[in-house]
Amino acid sequence: MERIPILRMGDFLLVTIQVDMHDQLALTLQDDLAERISQTSARAVLIDISALDMVDSFIGRMISSISGLSSIMDAETVVVGMQPAVAITLVELGLTLQGVSTALNVERGMQLLHQRMADK
């Protein structure tokens, strides 16, 4: 079964989605992230979607669901690298990604997370 790698970077988990997402892969990622947050006591999850050209409503809801799940497990979620076409599609679908922070790229996402961790 295909899986998306989850890298540990100190207190953070980094997920870089480099393949076309389909429903089963998104569900597997959600389960894998919950397991890794639990195992590592990660304080944040950074999801890089810069390689995604398209996000459908299911994938959008899964990103929101991952954020909610992370929050329940006391970890913040930041999505980075969203392409303009993806942002437009999400708006057209009426998906607001409640509770999901965004940043332009991985570097800015890491800065945002470090800043938030320092404020806690």
Long-range contact set of residues 108-112: C-beta below 8 Å, sequence gap at least 24: 108/80, 109/46, 109/48, 109/78, 109/79, 109/80, 110/12, 110/46, 112/78
Q: Tens digits of per-residue pLDDT, 42-94?
A: 999 999 999 998 888 888 889 999 999 999 999 999 999 999 999 998 899 88
Q: Tens digits of per-residue pLDDT, 16-44?
A: 999 988 889 999 999 999 999 999 999 99
> Is the sign of the CA dihedral 69, 75, 4, 114 positive or negative?
positive
Specify the pTM. Answer: 0.92
Q: Work out whether strand 12-16 and strand 44-48 pair parallel, antiparallel, or are unpaired.
A: parallel
Per CATH, the number for 6-119 is: 3.30.750.24
Q: Domain locations in the chain? A: 6-119
The two structure tokens encoding residue 23? 């429903």
Q: What is the pLDDT of residue 66?
A: 92
